[in-house]
Amino acid sequence: MKQQEKKTKVLAVASGGGHWIQMLRLRPAFADCNVSYVTVNEGSKVDVPNSEFYTVKDGNRDTKLSLILMAFRILYIVLRVRPQVVISTGAAPGYFACRFGKLVGAKSLFIDSVANAEEMSLSAKLATSHANRVFSQWPSVAKSSGVEFHGSVL
């Protein structure tokens, strides 16, 4: 009998609130994968009870120290999980995950939040230099920023 093909290891990274809810709406695309989730709220574990789950402390451009701590924590998670694919719906944790994913040979996709209807977020702009692919969820933003549009979570 043919041995079962090994499932693709995916690291799915999103900060809290809308970023996390957008990630949950992508789950049908991960049906045949082995997914580890990373987000900022411990309570979000209830949304993905059967998957590996990590949290990072939240941070943004205004909280530099928490950003540095977040970067180290993401680096640790990436080295531990050793994903083949990194997928993020933003923001800062996703940027770091795309960046560090390269260290373990993972390809990465950064999907900018649907909240950014007129301009890409800072983390998405930064991700264009590190992620293999970047999607905006608005055609006009994708066009003006030179990234891809393939529909939205709405």
Partner 1 sequence: MIFATVGTQLPFDRLIKTLDNWYKNQSVSKCFAQIGPQGEVPQNIPYAPTLTPLQFAKHIAECKVIVSHAGMGTILTALRYRKPIIIMPRLALHGEHRNDHQLATVANLEGRTGIHVAQNEAALVDKLRHFNSLKASKCVSNCAEPKLLSAISDFMKTNEKELNYA
The label of the residue with tokens 């309570």 reads: 43
Contact status: 9 vs partner 1 (CB under 8 A):
no
Q: For strands 148-149 and 33-39, give the pairing.
A: unpaired
Site for partner 1 in 94-123 (CB under 8 A): 107, 109, 111, 113-119, 121
Site size for partner 1 (CB under 8 A)? 55
Question: Which range of residues in 24-32, 48-56, 64-72, 73-81 is near partner 1 by CB under 8 A?
Answer: 24-32
Q: Are 94 and 13 in contact (CB under 8 A)?
A: yes
Binding site for partner 1 (CB under 8 A): 8, 10, 16-22, 25-29, 33, 41, 43-44, 46-47, 58, 60-62, 85, 87, 107, 109, 111, 113-119, 121, 128-135, 137-138, 146-148, 150-154
